[in-house]
Structure 1
């Protein structure tokens, strides 16, 4: 029987080529969108769950109150992990990790050394490879991290520095405040893309203890915050609350005045709940939009299938007369939907394979291709496949099984089963979804443009930022002087932290306030000039800003410290030292635009007194010779720093990178808008074709009686245009509500204006008009004699 149903389904597919192409094409596009998006979403949800004991691994977090502020603690003192293992019977093992947050210069110890800047460098306990499930390819996991200055490197690092030769036993030099030699004791497999711990260079905490610059990390020997990420492996996840309570008790024992609160975050959930990860900000939106696109394709299928109910009515009637019951009829139509979905799924799989890299490049994400075979993703694919078959076949089977055999032979059944109304509803829903996505895409792009062109209080144009590593520290002034002599360079400045990439925080207080957190930037006396930061209240003397124990603040800091309108001459207590306020600059954005501008302090040094690593800002004037300018800067850099590779970034690009999540959302909407238009257009084309075929004799009679092509085209088109206009009316308030909710997440918002809705509506109606008129004109120009002869 199944074989018989399959043959009938295949025969109908071949017989009705146009409808088959529309159905399969629409489903293929919808499924492709679902596959690619769910591939990304399932990958994000699988983070850190590949570890054998992932359900029992937790990361310690804490909160502490300081005045009116809540401070979140992600790192703890070096004794916390050991204390939790010792004092809590439910903790099997503890692990500490300390990351180098700035890139380090690493080079080989050979006759022709190679050096690179490395970001993934961290210190950890010797049980690292027992605690986590990273695959150690060479070395003994029990001993590779026991000795100080031993290091385990990833496959990529091994290949980069040593090619195909065996690196075990060889040495690497790492430049920090001093130069240290590390011996390679192991090679670890490259960490998968769904790992939040990236393998690079892994060394022991015993190494940290031997480094003078890390002495402060071990200065605290009590249970409190510090610099070590602390992981705990529990005997059973159900003991979570008991372990958290133990942390609370230990904190109180260490400091009876402590108000710290501790909790354990499941390591496998950490990635999705991270407050800093902007890449997953809209993770819940992506599958929703993918489902909407697939829903459009399913509506097409159901709409076109029920549109052809009349042509199948007699077939169903004959089957029922010959003894087929509702179950058999339903099975037949489910078999047809399974055939269409299966073909669409195969094509979608092929299309996804070829679109994988372009799609991930467009979305600016990296995922291992091997994840296609991950059990979670395969299970999701299976679910999508089955639910698509179910949804595609459910309505057609209900309609067809409800036919009564005698009535099927006597009259048409479209009106009885509301086929015409169902098609109208389907068409309206399709274009409503399409218009909502189109309006949403417009507003997202509008908001992106608004943020990029927003007056942030400084000039970002024509500024090149060059990070200064520790290896150039003694030569930074000479390098800067050399850069300023290059044609096209107008000026330079230095800061200790790259703007938009973090800042130092100190607790400060004024006469009328208690201590509050104050972001602080250390800059030279050319910084304000280069970035065109305006003065609100200028110093009485230009030399004051670089004098000892003087500070410049921004406008917001006046309110935060309850200072007078002109606070010049007043003092701020900063890090145990009184700092006199000598000037106030107008507010400018130095961090993310997601939040309003916070208070800021500027410690300004004279040009020749600025020392340390940081960022060199190069103001240039000639865009036409930019490649030559960058080449000259790179050449000069290599003369003064032969160890660290030259790197640079345009300040505009750094600013635009703040909107990575929004940019990704915008790209996704652009892609899905195209898919939506194609799918909705295909569905409308199929319905217009069906409508013209249903009225072929009417068209023939009208033409014989003198009706023009324009009149017939208008007759066939007006109903569809009305439905599209209705969809625009429904979609506009829905889109406004969703867009307004989305914009509430921004401190700076664009205005939602009526032209967006008008243009989206005009586009949707024009698209519908073009598709319907194209088919209507074909029908209107057909030979009426031939149409009247056709039965």
Structure 2
């Protein structure tokens, strides 16, 4: 019996090849897209959950004025551990870049952590080789397997070997004491090397520096501690009391606890680690996955219910020769289940094949092992549900008809069935239009980010990092002299920081009338006299530093935002005295604001120090050159000659300011690409369904078309007759989707301090595209039917 049902089902599906293929393509595409997005979402929400004590680990964050930061003072961790019985362990982490020397080879490493001795007790990073050490010996270092391979080739060979680490603060000879397994890609802390934090404390001399916010601090709470919102809030208040008691600088900071599993998906904290994700992006793509799958399911259900209407006489004949109703129901369900299961298998296969491409787009290294048994069960159950939903309406509706009425030509499908299909089409196109509007808005915002006036000309700027070796002032002067032999120095500047890597701190700053309790967050930049010209910045008032002007040595240039902190206007700021780190000078100029953070964040106050002498207050600095792209290779060669002349065989690297700025918006660019791809796919899947429905509607009315042509109807009038009902549904979908899309995109744009507006033409364009694409899709079948031979049409069985 079952084999008979399967044979009949396969025969019916092959009889309607076009519609069967459309159904399978649409549903398998939806399943593949949803599976890929599921993998991405799973990877994002599982960040840092591999640690044994994930639920007990919290990070302390700080808010000073309106600015939230991921860093806190160095002494806070130990003070909290000493005073709080609910805290089992407290560990501090500092992330730095360094130059690593192994024998004659030098490596630039951007993934180095300084950490407390209990770091490996708080976090779960297993040992691969060597002894479990507690980072208590300043002369020992731990490498990951990847780090050991990079420096020594064989991780086992690395144990006991020596290497030298130079950062901006010191140089240390260290022995490799152990090898850790590679850090999982879904860890917010990424490192190749782990050093004792005592090295950082010693070189910075900041063991009691309560006023400097420069370390990540993690707490491992007691296993018996009730981690309810109420108890965590009470613990936060106790930590703030400890801070207030110990901090002699009286910084008014609000301290909060952030659970480890929340770190990755909660951006917006200044000075946080790189690669932080975004909860909103996860939510958006979760909805996109649901939307695409929903569109695919609607397609499937629409085509299945429409096709079943043409099988009324078949059902009548089966009932006339004795078929029971349950047998007919089972037959219809079997056919739809075959299609669904085939689509499911093809969809999963497509996801597997496309995963490497998807990884390239997302910048991840996701594998199919993230597809859990639970997810597969959910997918199979969902597929069965889709099959039952798609097959149940025609199965129950058709099997209920009396065979005599059906064989005499009674209407097979009721008006309720047509209404049901119409509502599905409206839902389908509403979702597609929402995604279309989202695509336009995301594209505009990304274009705005890339082309917005950021306060200086980001193009044609290359830079070379200056190593922190020997006498920095002497090296900077020597480098400038070497460069002046080959380059136009009007387009060359040496600065302590790039605009893309400025940090924010609460260092001591004083001016007349300042509230002693007020400790603003601000950024500092040591620059020479030529930075404004090289970067093409503009002045709001006053002047910039002058070359060889000794009187300018202690003076300052500030940005517009700093005026709000100083509570003065641009003109009255000129001549105002500032004291920063016991260095008193006058404000000689006010620069127009320029962005040195991602535009999701407001511009911070900036104080520029005159460092034309080459003294960057201990910072190594960068050489920045403005040059056309066509001349980059020549400039690179001259820079390398001057660099090698000054620093010997120290590794030479060069970067581009505009590329660094693009990196700030990597997450948004990635989101934009994915959004574009999935939006286009959703529209294509919708069009597949519309194409199928138009083809079916045309088949059902083929005799009517023939009669109309015999009576003189034109091709245009027939196309209009066949298209108007479906186009009306698309128009209804437009009206439904506009307010929903507007609200969703307004919420997304609110994450940016600077953003585009939701102009009326965005909606008009999306609506026009929807109508145009729908009309083109329907016209293909309609025109074909309208131009057919009416004699052949009239011979078709009605």
Same fold (TM over 0.5): yes
Q: Residues 719 and 323 of structure 1: is their aligned pair in 2 closer, same or farther, counting only changes over 3 Å?
A: closer
Tell me by how many angstroms 1:638 deviates: 4.3
2-structure distance, mates of 1:569, 1:87: 47
Q: Residues 486 and 283 of structure 1: is their aligned pair in 2 closer, same or farther, counting only changes over 3 Å?
A: farther
1-structure distance, mates of 2:36, 2:423: 29
Give 2:222's match in structure 1, choosing from 222, 234, 249. Answer: 234
2-structure distance, mates of 1:399, 1:683: 18
Tell me by how many angstroms 1:478 deviates: 2.9
User: Are 1:433 and 2:434 matched, yes or no?
Assistant: no
Tell me by how many angstroms 1:228 deviates: 5.2
2:272 alignment counterpart: none
1:588 alignment counterpart: 594
User: Are 1:150 and 2:150 matched, yes or no?
Assistant: no
1:298 alignment counterpart: 297
2:565 alignment counterpart: 560
2-structure distance, mates of 1:632, 1:8: 78
- 8 Å CA contact 2:337, 2:384 repeated in 1: yes
1:80 alignment counterpart: 77
Please give the per-residue CA displacement for 1:235-267, whole angstroms capped at 9, x wherever unaligned: 246356668756755764685487876554332
1:416 alignment counterpart: 414
Please give the per-residue CA displacement for 1:88-133, whole angstroms capped at 9, x wherever unaligned: 5555x425242233x1000213xxx221111221233444444433
1:531 alignment counterpart: 535
2-structure distance, mates of 1:660, 1:643: 33
2-structure distance, mates of 1:770, 1:198: 51
Give 1:185's match in structure 2, choosing from 165, 168, 177. Answer: 177
Tell me by how many angstroms 1:2 deviates: 6.2
- 8 Å CA contact 1:433, 1:731 repeated in 2: yes
Q: Residues 588 and 786 of structure 1: is their aligned pair in 2 closer, same or farther, counting only changes over 3 Å?
A: same
Please give the per-residue CA displacement for 1:273-299, whole angstroms capped at 9, x wherever unaligned: 343465325221111112211111111
Please give the per-residue CA displacement for 1:481-519, whole angstroms capped at 9, x wherever unaligned: 434444688521122122122234334343344233332
Pairs within 5 Å for 1:365-380? 365-369=363-367, 372-374=368-370, 377-380=372-375
Give 1:117's match in structure 2, choosing from 90, 103, 108. Answer: 108
2-structure distance, mates of 1:744, 1:545: 47
- Give the secondary structure class of the aligned counterpart of 1:122: strand
- 8 Å CA contact 2:188, 2:276 repeated in 1: no
2-structure distance, mates of 1:567, 1:342: 73
Give 1:390's match in structure 2, choosing from 385, 392, 416. Answer: 385
Tell me by how many angstroms 1:774 deviates: 1.3
Tell me by how many angstroms 1:78 deviates: 4.9
2-structure distance, mates of 1:151, 1:330: 70
2-structure distance, mates of 1:540, 1:770: 61
Q: Once structures 1 and 2 are overlaid, which stretch shifts more, 578-587 or 40-49?
A: 578-587
2:286 alignment counterpart: 287
Size of the aligned set, in residue pairs, is 772
- 8 Å CA contact 1:105, 1:644 repeated in 2: no
- 8 Å CA contact 1:488, 1:629 repeated in 2: no
Q: Residues 274 and 708 of structure 1: is their aligned pair in 2 closer, same or farther, counting only changes over 3 Å?
A: closer
Give 2:94's match in structure 1, choosing from 92, 99, 104. Answer: 99
- 8 Å CA contact 1:504, 1:521 repeated in 2: no
User: Are 1:219 and 2:234 matched, yes or no?
Assistant: no
Please give the per-residue CA displacement for 1:707-740, whole angstroms capped at 9, x wherever unaligned: 3434333322333333333333433343333333
Please give the per-residue CA displacement for 1:145-196, whole angstroms capped at 9, x wherever unaligned: 4533212212222222222472111111112344322111222221111112
Pairs within 5 Å for 1:63-78? 63=62, 74-78=71-75
- Give the secondary structure class of the aligned counterpart of 2:587: strand
1-structure distance, mates of 2:38, 2:551: 55
1:196 alignment counterpart: 188
- 8 Å CA contact 1:512, 1:561 repeated in 2: no
- Give the secondary structure class of the aligned counterpart of 2:465: strand
Q: Residues 441 and 135 of structure 1: is their aligned pair in 2 closer, same or farther, counting only changes over 3 Å?
A: same
Q: Once structures 1 and 2 are overlaid, which stretch shifts more, 498-507 or 625-634?
A: 625-634
User: Are 1:452 and 2:457 matched, yes or no?
Assistant: no
1:464 alignment counterpart: 462
Give 2:102's match in structure 1, choosing from 94, 98, 108. Answer: 108
1-structure distance, mates of 2:336, 2:73: 58
- Normalised to the residue count of structure 2, the TM-score between the two structures is 0.87
Report the RMSD for the aligned CA atoms in angstroms. 3.4
1:31 alignment counterpart: 31
Q: Residues 72 and 605 of structure 1: is their aligned pair in 2 closer, same or farther, counting only changes over 3 Å?
A: closer
1:162 alignment counterpart: 152
2-structure distance, mates of 1:320, 1:273: 62
Give 1:171's match in structure 2, choosing from 159, 162, 169. Answer: 162
1-structure distance, mates of 2:240, 2:632: 56
- 8 Å CA contact 1:681, 1:768 repeated in 2: yes
Tell me by how many angstroms 1:307 deviates: 0.4
Tell me by how many angstroms 1:674 deviates: 1.8
Q: Residues 640 and 346 of structure 1: is their aligned pair in 2 closer, same or farther, counting only changes over 3 Å?
A: farther
Please give the per-residue CA displacement for 1:34-83, whole angstroms capped at 9, x wherever unaligned: 1111111110111111123323x31241546x6x5576564454573586
1-structure distance, mates of 2:531, 2:550: 12
- Give the secondary structure class of the aligned counterpart of 2:298: helix
Tell me by how many angstroms 1:753 deviates: 2.9
Q: Residues 624 and 576 of structure 1: is their aligned pair in 2 closer, same or farther, counting only changes over 3 Å?
A: closer
Tell me by how many angstroms 1:399 deviates: 4.4
2-structure distance, mates of 1:90, 1:599: 38
Q: Residues 374 and 676 of structure 1: is their aligned pair in 2 closer, same or farther, counting only changes over 3 Å?
A: closer
Please give the per-residue CA displacement for 1:199-224, whole angstroms capped at 9, x wherever unaligned: 41113345556xx41432x236x999
Q: Residues 608 and 540 of structure 1: is their aligned pair in 2 closer, same or farther, counting only changes over 3 Å?
A: closer
- 8 Å CA contact 1:435, 1:728 repeated in 2: yes
- Give the secondary structure class of the aligned counterpart of 1:191: coil
- 8 Å CA contact 1:136, 1:188 repeated in 2: yes
- Give the secondary structure class of the aligned counterpart of 2:522: strand
User: Are 1:734 and 2:736 matched, yes or no?
Assistant: no
Tell me by how many angstroms 1:463 deviates: 0.9
- 8 Å CA contact 2:719, 2:786 repeated in 1: yes
Q: Residues 642 and 159 of structure 1: is their aligned pair in 2 closer, same or farther, counting only changes over 3 Å?
A: farther
2-structure distance, mates of 1:148, 1:207: 6
2-structure distance, mates of 1:535, 1:695: 73
Give 1:753's match in structure 2, choosing from 751, 756, 759. Answer: 759
Tell me by how many angstroms 1:601 deviates: 1.6
User: Are 1:271 and 2:248 matched, yes or no?
Assistant: no
1:345 alignment counterpart: 344
Tell me by how many angstroms 1:603 deviates: 1.1
| Structure 2 unmatched ranges of 5 or more | 270-274
- 8 Å CA contact 2:344, 2:383 repeated in 1: no
- Give the secondary structure class of the aligned counterpart of 2:264: helix
Q: Residues 789 and 458 of structure 1: is their aligned pair in 2 closer, same or farther, counting only changes over 3 Å?
A: same
Q: Residues 398 and 621 of structure 1: is their aligned pair in 2 closer, same or farther, counting only changes over 3 Å?
A: same
Q: Residues 361 and 529 of structure 1: is their aligned pair in 2 closer, same or farther, counting only changes over 3 Å?
A: same
